[in-house]
A and B are shown apart, each in its own frame.
Chain A
Amino acid sequence: MSGFRHGAGRLGDAQLNFTFDGKPMLARAGDTVASALLANGVEVVGRSFKYHRPRGVTSSGPEEAGALVTIGAGGKADPNARATMEPVTQGLEVFSQNCFPSPKFDLMSVNGLAGAILPGSLFSAGFYYKTFMWPAALWYKFYEPSIRAAAGMGVPPKVADPDIYDRIQMFCDVAVVGGGSAGLSAALSASQSGLRVVIFDEHNDLGGQLLNEANSDQNADLEQWRKDTIAALEAADNVTVLARAVCWGRFDGNMLAAHQSVDGKVRQNYIKVQAKKIIIAAGAIERPLVFGNNDKPNVMLASAARRMLNHYGTATGKMLAVFTNNDSAYQTAFDYSDAGIKVSAVVDSRQYPSEALVDGCMSRGITLHTQAVVTEAKGWQAVRSIEIADLAANGQSVSNRRRVACDVLAHSGGWTPQVQMAAHGGKPPIYDKTIAAFVVGDQAPDTYSVGAAEGENGLLAGVAQALEAAKAACAELGGTAGAVTAPPQDRDGATNIVPLWSVPAKGKQLVDIQHDVTAADVVQSHSEGFVSVEHLKRYTTLGMANDQGRTSNVNALAIMAECRGVSIAEAGTTRFRAPIAPVSMGGFAGREIGKHFKPVRRTPMQEWHEKAGAVFVQAGMYMRPQYYPQAGETIDDAYERETEHVRKKVGICDVTSLGKIEIVGPDAAEFLDRVYINMFSTLKVGKARYGVMLREDGIVYDDGTTSRFAEDRFFMTTTTAKAGPVMAYLERCLEIDWPELKVRVSSVSERWGAMAVAGPDARATLTAAFPSVDFSNEAFPFMGVVHAEHNGAKLVILRISFSGEMAYEVYATSEHATDIWQTVVDAGQAYDIVPYGLETLGALRIEKGHVTGAELDGRVTLGDVHMDGMASKKKWFVGKNLKQREGMVHPDRPQLVGLKSVDPRTPISTGSILVTEANATAGADKQGWVSSMTYSPELGSFIALGFLRGGKDRIGERIYAAYPVKGKNVEVEVVSNHFVDPTNDRVKG
C-alpha cells in the first residue's frame, strides 16, 4: 500500500466500480486501470514473463511493460492489455496475469532463483537455442509444454469473441500522428486551410505532455489553451479527431494503419487512412535507467509518476525518491513536494546540475545527491528503500553505499523520440548526441516529423516546428494553413543529459522489463558473438514484447556499443517494423467473418430449393442444390433415385450459375471462329453448337454452347467457374488483339435464370408448360433454339443435353424465373417430374462421358479428351499453333477413359492413381488418375472417368485404381468414356 488518491487531477467526479482479481475497487471517470490500481494501493499487478518477478505500474502510456492485465472475462477477455491504456468503465473486470495462485505469492518465481544460480542456462539469453537441443522428441513431450506453462503472459480466451470489430477506410489531405501540443497546433493550423485533416492520439485525453503539468491556477491558461484547441478541432467539419486510436504502421502510398478502441456496439475500429501529407508529432517516451532490481513495483518513470499525480489525482507513494541523469525528472520531485508529499532524495548521476535545479531542491528541503546513482531498489515485493552510492568519475565503480527510505522511485534516463512512423517511410534514424537518442534525420517523402518526435522537447519550439510543417504541407496541397494561438507558457526542452547506460550494481538489472532481458544478457549476447543489433534482438528477444522496445531499445544498443567499443551511432538501431503496438486480430477481420467471410450468391430459384428441402453444396460462390432428399434417404439413395428418374421420366435442375455472354456485331461470327476450335460462322440462325476454347498454349480452356440468335447476334454460355474469366478474356481479345473486329460483348449471366429439363418426358412436360411453343422434332430439333414469352417472362429455350437424355435448357428473365420453374414443375406433375441436384447432374454426365472442370483442369489437350476431331482444319484459332508441339501430341499422354468397377458395388475414389499392379507401392509406375466417379444406376455399377497413358488403345484391360492414403485398391476395367447411349440416339428422339 503506497499509492493513494491525492487531489482531483483532471478526472471527472463520477465514481466507478471495478474489480481486480475479483476484489472490488473504486475509480473515477477518466481513470485508467493503472491509475485506479495505484489509487487503490495495489503495487504488485502481475508477474514477469520468464522469471515471474513481481511487477507493477512502470509508466503512464503505451510503453507500459509491467502492468499487463487481462481485461474482461469469457469471450470478451482481452489478454496482455496495458493497464495504462485501458480506461476504467463501470463494472470492468480486471485480472492479473502469469501468476499462481496470486500476484503476491507466485510459485513460479523460483525461475528467478534458478536464473541467478545458473546464469546462462535456464531462461537466460539464447536459452531457446542452446538449452533444449536434444533429443528432439522431448520438445513436444516435455520442453515445450513446460516452457509454455512457465513463460508467457495472458491466456487467450477459448470461446468466440462476441464483440464487433469494424474496418474503416478514411482519406485525408493531412494526417497528424499524435495529439500533444505540437500535433494539436499542426492539425488546427492545417484545418484552417479547408483541407481534410485527421488527427490520431492513442490516449483518451489529448494533450500529450501537457497532461503531466499540474492542473493548478498557475497553469490555468495553459490548460485552457489545450481545451480550446481540442474544442476547435472537434468543431471543425473538415477534421476527424481520433482519440484512443493507436497509429501502428505507415505503408506505401502514405497509408497509415490504426486501431481505435470505442465504446458502443463496436469494440474496435481498424482504420486505414490514405493521407496526402503526414505530420508526425508522436512525442517522446522517457527511458528507464538500468540499475539493480529496477523492475521492482513502484519503480516508475519520472514523467509517469508526475502524470499520475497531476492528471489522475493519484500519488504513487507516500515518500518519493528520484533518480536521473537529466533535468526533466526534477519537476516530478518538485510537483510531489509542492503537493505535500515527502521527497526523500534526488539522486543525479551528473556532477553539476544547473543552479536552478539545485535551488529548487534546496528551497523545498529536498536532499540532492550529485555524482551519485541508485545501485539497487530494495523491498520484498515493492520498493521500500533504495541503496545509493557515489559514482566514480570514470563511471566504472561506486563507493559509499547508503540506504535512503522511499516507497516509490521515479527515474529518468532521458527521452526517446518516437521515430517509428517516420522510420517506416524507409529512412533509418540517426543518433543525436545532444539528447542521447535517435532522431529521424532524413524525412521520408510527404512526411514532416516535429516536436519531441524530432528531438525538440521545448514546448514553444516544438509548436513552432509543427506550424511550419502544417504551413509547408498545406502549401504543397494548394492550401493556406491558418494562424494558431501559441501556448501561453513555455517549457524549456533542454534536458542537459549526461548518458548513464548502466550502473555498476548488484541484483537483476532489467533492460527490457517485459521480456525479462537484463543488461547481463546483452553482455552475454556480445560475448557469444551476437554483436549486431539485429542479432542481439533475436538472440535475447529484446524489444519484441508489446512495448516494441520503446523503453529498452536505446539502453540495450548503448550497452552493446560499450561492449563493442564503438559509438552508438556506429552500433546503429534495429529496423522499425509495423505494428509498433499490439493490435487485435478482430480488427483485421472486421465484419468479414461468418456469413460475411465469403458471399453466397443466390439464383432466382434459391427459395424454391430451400422450401423443397434441398441439401446445398458450395459451387464457387453459389450454394447449389446437391440433392433433394426424401424421407429417410441418404445422399446415395437420393442421387441414385434422381438419376434413375431422369433416365426413365423427367427431371429439372437449376443451371443459372452458367456464364452467359451476348456477342453482337457484324464480325461476331468471325470472332467466334477465332476463339473456338470449331466453326461458328456456318451456324444457322436458330441453332446452337457446342464449342471448345483453347488457351494460347494449346491447353483446353473452357467449353459451352453458343447459339445464334441473329446473323450478327450470338449467345454464349460458359462453365460456372469460368464465367468471369471468359468474359474478361473476350474483352481483352477485342480491345488488344483484334481491335479491328466490329464486335461488342456484354455479360448477361445475371439476366437469365436457367433450368435444365431432361428425360424422356421432357418434351411432353414443356409442351404442357408452354403451349404456344411447338416442341415437335420437326419444329424444334436437337440443337434448336426457340424464343418465347410466357406470363410476362422472356424465354430462350435450347434443345441441348448434358445428360444424354432428350433435354432442354430453359432461360427465363430472372424476375420471372421462379414462376417459370414452377410452371414447368406443375406441368411435369403428370410425368412425375423431380428436381435434381449437382450429384445427379454429375452422375448423368459421367455416364454419358461428358467432361467438366474435373477433367478440364488446365493440363489437358484436345487429344487427351478425344476432341481433336472437332478442331477445324479450315481456319486458324487461338491455341492452334502451340497445340501441335511435340509434348502436346505425344502418344503416351494420359487420355480420357471410362473405368468400371470389376466388383460393381465397390466405389472408385476420385484422385486415385491408375496402376497395373494389384498392390502398388510408392515406386509403382503411375499411369494416370481418376478425375470423377459416380454410381451408375443404368449400369448397376460404380463407374469413373479418368486419364490413362495411351488410354484410347487400352479398352478392355483390367487395371487398379489405387488410393494408398486410404489403403484402397480397386480393380477396374478400362472402357469407353461413353457409358450410356454411345450412338447418341436419345437426345435426338
Chain B
Amino acid sequence: MTNVDTSTSMESPLHHRVAHTNAANAGVVMKEDKFRGQLNLRGNPQDAAFTSAVEKVLGVALPMAPSSSVRNGDTVVYWLCPNEWLLIVASGTQGQVEADLRSAMDGQHIAVTDISSGQTLVNLSGTGVAELMQKSTVYDCHDSNFPVGKVVQTTFAKTGTTMCKLEDGSYDLVIRRSFSDYFFLWLQDASDEYGLSVS
C-alpha cells in the first residue's frame, strides 16, 4: 500500500544517484526503499498497557529480546534499546500510525516521533554482499553471529547504520539522510569488483 503522491517534487535521499550505470551480472544489488514511514517509539516495556496498546495498533507485539525484530507485512519493528524501537511502516502511513499510537496510549508516558524524512531504508543483496560487508563493517555478519531477523546498530564505513538480515540473505540498512550520498559513493567503490546494480 502506498499513499505517496508522486506528482509532488519529493526527493528521496538517494534520488540524485539514479544516474549510476548498472553492471551486468552485478554481484551487489542496491535498492532504496523510498519514503518508507519511520517512527521512533519510546515507552516502558514493563508496562502492559503500553505493550498491548502498541500491539493492537501494529498487529504485532513489540520485540523485547535485545537486537531482535518482528515483521508483519509492510510493518517492521526493530529493537533499539530496552525502551526504544524503530517502526518501519508502509510509505505514507506514518501519520496515521503515529495518530493511532497516540490515541491508543493517551495519557501514557511514551514518545512517538516521526523520523521518516531523516533516514532511508536500503536493501543490499547479491553474491558479493558477504564480502562487501566484511570490507564495510566491523560487525561479524556470519549467520552464526548475525542470523535472520537480528538487528544491530553499527558502523558502515564511516557512517552509522541500523541493519537487519532478511530471509533471503539480503541486508536492510537504515542510513541517515545526510550520510546517504557518502554511503552510496562508498558502496560504488567497495562493490566495484563484484559489479553494482541499483534498482
A contacts, CB < 8 Å to B: 164, 166-171, 196, 264-266, 274, 590-592, 595-596, 598-604, 606-607, 621-622, 656, 662, 664-666, 742, 744-752, 791-792, 813-819
Contact = CB atoms under 8 A, between A and B. Distances in A.
A598 B113 contact: no
A662 B41 CA distance: 12
B190 A599 contact: no
A749 B193 contact: no
Interface string B1-29: 00001001111110010000000000000
Interface stretch (B51-59, B61-69, B121-129, B133-141): B133-141
Given A596-B157, A602-B181, 16 more contacts: A164-B192, A171-B145, A265-B193, A266-B193, A590-B135, A596-B182, A599-B182, A664-B111, A665-B109, A744-B109, A748-B113, A791-B8, A792-B5, A792-B10, A814-B117, A816-B11
Interface string B102-115: 00000001110111
A751 B10 contact: no
A813 B177 CA distance: 12
A815 B35 contact: yes
Nearest to B175: A750
Contacts of B71: none
B158 A599 contact: yes
Contacts of B176: 750
B140 A665 contact: no
B109 A816 contact: no
Contact of B109 (A598, A742, A750, A819): A742
Nearest to B190: A591
A153 to B, nearest CB: 32
Contacts of A595: 185
A317 B41 CA distance: 77
A59 to B, nearest CB: 33
Interface in B134-153: 134-135, 137-138, 140, 142, 144-145
A791 B11 CA distance: 13
A166 B131 CA distance: 11
Nearest to A167: B135
B122 to A, nearest CB: 15
A746 B8 contact: no
Contact of B118 (A621, A665, A814, A819): A814
A791 B5 CA distance: 10
Given A599-B159, A601-B182, A744 B142 contact: no
Interface of B: 5, 8-13, 16, 35, 40, 42, 109-111, 113-119, 131, 134-135, 137-138, 140, 142, 144-145, 157-159, 176-182, 185-186, 189-190, 192-193
A604 B177 contact: yes
B113 A170 contact: no
B134 A749 contact: no
B10, B145, B186 — most chain A CB neighbours (10 Å): B10
A750 B135 contact: no
A29 B15 CA distance: 48
A442 to B, nearest CB: 30
Nearest to B177: A750
23 contacts: A167-B135, A168-B131, A168-B135, A169-B134, A591-B135, A591-B186, A591-B190, A599-B159, A602-B181, A665-B109, A744-B42, A744-B109, A744-B111, A748-B118, A749-B118, A750-B118, A750-B178, A751-B115, A792-B8, A813-B116, A815-B117, A816-B11, A817-B11
Contacts of B186: 591, 596
B15 to A, nearest CB: 9
A815 B135 contact: no
Contacts of A622: 178
Contacts of A166: 135, 190
Contacts of A599: 157-159, 179, 182
B118 A746 contact: no
A607 B158 CA distance: 22
A173 to B, nearest CB: 9
B5, B110, B134 — most chain A CB neighbours (10 Å): B134
A751 B94 CA distance: 13
Nearest to B194: A265
Given A196-B144, A598-B158, A818 B11 contact: yes
Contact of A607 (B16, B185, B190): B16
Nearest to B109: A742
Nearest to A607: B16
Contacts of A750: 115, 117-119, 176-178
Contacts of A818: 9, 11
Contacts of A817: 11
Contacts of B12: 815
A621 B193 CA distance: 28
Nearest to A596: B186
A167, A266, A591 — most chain B CB neighbours (10 Å): A591
Contacts of B115: 746-748, 750-751
B193 A819 contact: no
A656 to B, nearest CB: 8
Nearest to A819: B9
A171 B178 CA distance: 31
Given A169-B137, A599-B182, A746 B111 contact: yes
Contacts of B118: 748-752, 814
B176 to A, nearest CB: 5
A599 B140 CA distance: 23
A4 B177 CA distance: 64
Given A266-B193, A666-B109, A752-B117, A596 B135 contact: no
A475 to B, nearest CB: 18
B109 A813 contact: no
Contacts of A747: 115
Contact of B189 (A274, A591, A662): A591
Nearest to A601: B178
B140 A171 contact: yes
A792 B178 CA distance: 21
A827 to B, nearest CB: 16
Contacts of B13: 814
B9, B40, B144 — most chain A CB neighbours (10 Å): B9
A746 B113 contact: yes
A596 B144 contact: no
A845 to B, nearest CB: 23
Nearest to B43: A744
Sorted from nearest, which 10 A-B pairs have the closest CB atoms?
Answer: A750-B118, A744-B111, A601-B178, A599-B182, A751-B118, A814-B117, A746-B113, A171-B140, A664-B111, A744-B42
A265 B113 contact: no
Contacts of A744: 42, 109-111
A296 B20 CA distance: 58
Contacts of A598: 158
Given A750-B119, A818-B11, A171 B177 contact: no
B67 to A, nearest CB: 17
Contact of A819 (B8, B135, B189): B8
A603, A622, A816 — most chain B CB neighbours (10 Å): A816
Nearest to A606: B181
A815 B11 contact: yes
A140 to B, nearest CB: 39
Contacts of A746: 40, 42, 111, 113, 115
Given A662-B111, A666-B109, A815-B35, A602 B178 contact: yes
Contacts of A602: 178, 180-181
A301 to B, nearest CB: 37
Contact of B113 (A596, A604, A664): A664
Nearest to A746: B113
Nearest to A171: B140
A533 B63 CA distance: 60
B134 A170 contact: yes
A751 B116 contact: yes
A735 to B, nearest CB: 10
A818 B9 CA distance: 8
Contacts of A266: 193
A946 B131 CA distance: 54
Nearest to B40: A746
